[in-house]
Amino acid sequence: ACYAASAVGYLTGRPGVCLVVSGPGFLHALGGMANATMNCWPLIVIGGSSDRNQETMGAFQEFPQVEAGRLYNKLSVRPSSLEVIPAVIEKAVRTSIYGRPGSCYIDIPGDFVNLQVNKSSVKYMECCLPPPVSMAECSAISEAGYIIVHSKQPLLIIGKGAAYSHAENNIRKLVDLCGLPFLPTPMAKGVVPDNHPNCVAAARSMALQHADVIILLGARLNWILHFGLPPRFRQDVKVIQIDICAEELGNNVRPAAMLLGDINAVTKQLLEEFSKRPLKYPSNSEWWKRLREKIMNNEERSKGLALQKSLPMNYYTVFHHIRELIPKDCILVSEGANTMDIGRTMLPNYHPRQRLDAGTFGTMGVGLAFAIAAAMVAKDQTPEKRVVCVEGDSAFGFSGMEVETICRYNLPILIIVVNNNGIYTGLDADAWKEMLKFGDPAICVPPVSLLPNSHYEEIMSAFGGKGYFVKTPEELQNALKASVTDKQTPSLINVMIDPQSERKKQEFPWLTRSNL
């Protein structure tokens, strides 16, 4: 529930609200609070707590919730009285969306529930105004413009902060006006469509390693971008950092220019700068030639894997058929190990805020919650939009029983479980049987191996949805067509693949997880 509420905040720009009980209920929501704050998504959690007159007495589910919440929230507070609850709620909403968005926790003691108060003493509040839009200093804009104009191998990196600020129109104008190559971080895919000719996602490693000027649009130089450090970046790379949070500026790499402000507003300032100082990076430059050559090579390698006819199928074959048959404007939720990594490269996004995954915190267990949140938001705003949730079999195990929630609310979500019988790699049925000959599976079976050929689709069938168990490309195509055509019923396609299927060889094998 907490993960779902946080996704509502990201998709709508207003905090989703999660109501939890005291003690263990609060503790189980901490993961959602931390995930929201790490991803910079607005969220409000309201938790019950034990009666105030029973504190330190060992009350039912007693726990220092306000203190614990401070580690994971922008605000963690208990109203001092019933009268101030509206003021506390207003502050929590405002805090969650102003500046860098994040989670806020409000603690409600049990004895508040039956208290009475004189209505005239309640401090009613109006809703807070939308977040103020801040802009970068003019001198910083000029400095950034000068650096970009004189760059030889520029790269624009688009982060999910740009998606959250609805900066897509201005960023697309900037890319088209200046002819800059761009690289989206995972949840920024679609801010500029993945099929745009300037997208260099298929040459990611090379683009990062050789760019002499990098413009960060709402992206952080954290583990996802290898901290901006060698060997993944040039030692002398010039970074132009655009962020809404002053404390983020200069983290890990000292920027050549710092532009503090709202991503959409600052991008508009850059557009105005380049209208006065025109820039059109030449498409026939040596930099573009090298990038296009790398893109073509990598795409050919992926295409070769995708068109393999051998059975069981590999990841690339499965994603090839998924890409061909799911709606182009669907909201994609992706969760897993190889499933998420390979899916990011194989499943394109054409619209902003339509990809949800493990995010900055690398959280597993978010998939079905995000899908439910996306489906509820779509039901309210764009009823025709489909939600497709692509899960690894291990990832599905974290929250698979939420299929009941999906069926209960009749949300037409399509879940695709890419099943390799394990985490990264698994065992086929024959290898599993051989392994059992050595003794107790708790001792002999590798801990990353899951039970072979598990019928996850039967969970969906048990609750009234449609389940499909597929082993061949033809079966996968038929199941996808049936699921996409039926816009009323939830469905789950359990796709068996080669347990030893892996991603294509990486240029930096010691850092394979850092491409998440």
The whole-number pLDDT of residue 512 equals 43
Burial bucket for residue 129 (CB in 10 Å: 0-12, 13-18, 19+): exposed
Cα–Cα dist 13/127, whole Å: 15
Report residue 435 as tokens: 């392994």
The answer to whether 443 and 466 are in contact (CB under 8 A) is no
In a shared domain, residues 359 and 469 = yes
Q: What is the pLDDT of residues 24-75, one digit of tens each?
A: 999 999 999 999 999 999 999 999 999 999 999 999 999 999 999 999 999 9
> Does 146 lie in the same domain as 107?
no
Residue 511 predicted with pLDDT over 70: no
Say if residue 336 is in the same domain as residue 480: yes
Structure tokens at 75: 């605000």
Residues 85, 158, single domain; the answer is no
Phi/psi region, residue 210 (left: phi>0; alpha: psi -120 to 50; beta: rest), is alpha
Do 196 and 50 lie in a common domain? Answer: no
The stretch 264-279 carries a mean pLDDT of 96
Q: CB neighbours of 485 closer than 8 A, spacing ≥ 6?
A: none
Tell me if 266 is assigned to some domain: yes
pLDDT at residue 503, rounded to an integer: 73
Shared domain for 145 and 274, answered yes or no, is yes
Hey, what's the torsion of the CAs at 91, 94, 98, 101, to 10 degrees?
Answer: 90
pLDDT for the residue 502: 83
Q: Are 156 and 287 in contact (CB under 8 A)?
A: no
Q: How confident is the model at residue 504 (pLDDT cuts 50, 70, 90)?
A: low
- Are 276 and 315 contained in the same domain? no
Residue 229 lies in a domain: yes
In the chain, the number of structural domains is 3
Q: Which long-range contacts (CB under 8 A, 24 or more apart) does 377-382 make?
A: 377/8, 377/11, 377/12, 378/331, 379/411
Q: Which of 330, 346, 90 shows the shortest CA–CA distance to 201?
A: 346
Beta bridge partners of 495: 418, 470
Do 449 and 349 share a structural domain? yes
Region 395-412 average pLDDT:
97
Asked if residue 509 has pLDDT above 70, the reply is no
For residue 294, pLDDT over 60 is answered with: yes
CA 18 → CA 8, 34, 65, 375, 403, distances in Å?
11, 14, 15, 17, 19
Alpha-carbon 322 to chain mean position: 20
Q: Is 277 among the domain residues?
A: yes
pLDDT value at 513 more than 70 = no
Residue 100 is assigned to a structural domain of this protein? yes
pLDDT at 516 over 50: no
Q: CATH number for the domain including 359? A: 3.40.50.970
132 in a structural domain:
no
The CATH number assigned to the domain holding 160 equals: 3.40.50.1220
Say whether 331 sits in a helix, a strand or coil: strand
Query: Is the whole model's pTM more than 0.85, yes or no?
Result: yes
Name the one residue in this structure whose structure tokens are 């005239």. 120
Residue 171's domain comprises: 138-292
Residue 311 CB neighbour total at 10 angstroms: 13
Residue 126 lies inside a defined structural domain of this protein: no
Let me know if residue 303 belongs to a domain.
no
Whole-number Cα distances in Å, 480 to 58, 201, 325, 329, 414 = 54, 27, 7, 16, 9
Q: Which of 68, 92, 121 is the last residue of a domain?
A: 121
The two tokens of residue 8 are 């509502």
Q: How far apart, in Å, are the Cα atoms of 492 and each of 139, 332, 480?
A: 54, 15, 10
- Nearest Cα neighbor of 346 from 329, 366, 327, 324 is 324
**Is 30 part of any domain?**
yes
Among the listed residues 293, 117, 124, the one whose alpha carbon sits nearest the alpha carbon of residue 203: 293
Average pLDDT, the chain: 95
Q: With contact defined as beta carbons under 8 Å apart, do 382 and 410 qualify?
A: no
Distance from the first to the final alpha carbon of the chain: 24
pLDDT at residue 441 is higher than 60 = yes
Whether residue 130 has pLDDT greater than 80: yes
In the 8-state DSSP scheme, what is residue 214?
E
